[in-house]
Amino acid sequence: TAYMLSVNRAILVTRLSAKQWVAIAGFFVSAWAFFCWLFNFLYEDPQFLIWDTSIVSASFIAQILMTRKKVECWYFWTIPVNISAILLYWRASVPAFSFLYSVFLINAIFGWKQWRKSAGVGTREGVIFGKFFPFHNGHLSVINRALTECEKVFVVVCANEG
């Protein structure tokens, strides 16, 4: 009997489903409302309340998505966090923070490109059992095919004792 074993233990980079997008949108609006209330409670007459809390809420969502390795985290880091923060800090006459968020924006763009490429690609290991005697091109073809599906393939050669 021959078995093919495929192992995947890493958290894969994946994408949100339509249902997850709806949940994230609802969570974003709820977080935004909460942070508006909190900042209004904590600070006396906060400047740019709606704008600032939208950045905080988007950062919160982006961080959650990042820990779950969702490609869409980079959408949140790019537009509602970094670009918005660049504009906010420029408007508030704090150019050093605008520059800092410009660096973060570059990082987010590179992260987005990298994660987009690796979405759905996992670390997989395969095992092939066989006698492989005499070894021929058909065996090599099976091994090469397994290598297209897995990052690492173990070939176990079974032999008859005697």
For 134-144, what is each residue's pLDDT tens digit?
A: 888 888 888 87
Res 105 pLDDT > 80: yes
The DSSP secondary structure of the chain, one letter per residue, reads ----EEE--SPPPB---HHHHHHHHHHHHHHHHHHHHHHHHHSSS-TTHHHHHHHHHHHHHHHHHHHTTBTTHHHHIIIIIIIHHHHHHHHTT-HHHHHHHHHHHHHHHHHHHHHHHHTT----EEEEEE---S--HHHHHHHHHHHHH-SEEEEEEP----
Average pLDDT over residues 6-21: 73
Give the pLDDT of residue 120.
Answer: 60
For 68-101, what is each residue's pLDDT tens digit?
A: 889 999 999 999 999 999 999 999 999 999 999 9
Phi and psi dihedrals of 123, rounded to 5? -90, 115
Res 159 pLDDT > 90: no
pLDDT band at 3 (very low <50, low <70, confident <90, very high): very low
| Mean of the per-residue pLDDT values of the chain | 85
High-pLDDT (> 70) share of the chain, %: 85
Res 121 pLDDT > 60: no
Q: Which residue has the tokens 């987010």?
A: 108
- Give the predicted TM-score (pTM) of the model: 0.66
For 27-80, what is each residue's pLDDT tens digit?
A: 999 999 999 999 999 999 888 999 999 999 999 999 999 998 899 999 999 999
